[in-house]
Amino acid sequence: MPSAACTHIESLSGVAASRARQCDDCVAIGSSWVHLRTCQTCGETRCCDSSPNRHASQHALASRHAVVASAEPSERWLYCYPDDAFAEY
């Protein structure tokens, strides 16, 4: 895993891929999203901060799950919310 980002990212043993290419929280309320992020603690996929509901950020705050990976096929990066740290892999 990339070093020099933060301890959360450094301690990951691998990157969890998204199970479904959708935000379940948005589907539940009939909303839509822009991009998807996958929580690296629980493996659930939610929508990004460009989306109206920002479910990935809400989840990170509420659950204290620190790191997400982009779930976009063309993007390979990790982001840690508490440290505001970004790393490509």
45 exposure class (CB count in 10 Å sphere: 0-12, 13-18, 19+): buried
Where does this chain touch Zn ion (CB under 5 A) — which range of 14-22, 62-70, 71-79?
A: 62-70
Residue 57 in contact with residue 49, Cβ under 8 Å? yes
- Does 26 help bind Zn ion (rule: CB under 5 A)? yes
Among 12, 38, 45, 55, contact with Zn ion (rule: CB under 5 A): 55
Binding site for Zn ion (CB under 5 A): 6, 8, 23, 25-26, 33, 39, 41-42, 47, 53, 55, 65-66, 80, 83
